[in-house]
Amino acid sequence: MKKVTLLTVVLFAGVTATAFAGNIKTGQTATCNDAKSITISVAKIANKANSSDFGYTTNDRGTGNVVVWKSSNATTVPISLGPNDDNRSVNGTDKGKTGLGRMGTMGRSKVVLTRQTAFSRGDSIGDISGKVTVTNTGTNPVSVACN
């Protein structure tokens, strides 16, 4: 009987630890239940690379990768956050030969999933009713907040 009680307490503690979200490391999961919004963010981590590595970094360029599973429609959605990723054009380095200005932005460090109602299709990412689990599939820690 003591083993069953101990097992129940351990299981409850494990579920409680993931139920309130927070920072999750690689392979860990955070869970939100009937949240109005879910904020997923990765800290801006400096690139750790040298010129001889040709773009390779030890911290995946600071990118956060998660998989979001939604019980409302049993779908899985991958999300990548890349605050250090640059999709700006390199027109500024051509000394004005093309006549185009530099365009584009850096990647985002945060995404907010907001609960929406009245779907015509059930596969929308906005349908965050019910249980939503966020699993960190990347190398960098990610913060999950259930609001």
Q: What is the mean pLDDT of residues 28-54?
A: 84
> For residues 124, 14, 63 and 52, what is the CA-based torsion angle, rounded to 10 degrees?
-150
29-33/131-136 β-pairing:
antiparallel
Closest C-alpha among 60, 51, 48, 49 to residue 107: 60
Work out the widest C-alpha separation in the chain, in whole angstroms. 80
- Give the tens place of pLDDT for each residue, 47-63: 666 666 665 677 777 88
Cα 21 → chain centroid: 12
Which domains occur in the chain, in start order?
21-146 (2.60.120)
pTM higher than 0.75:
no
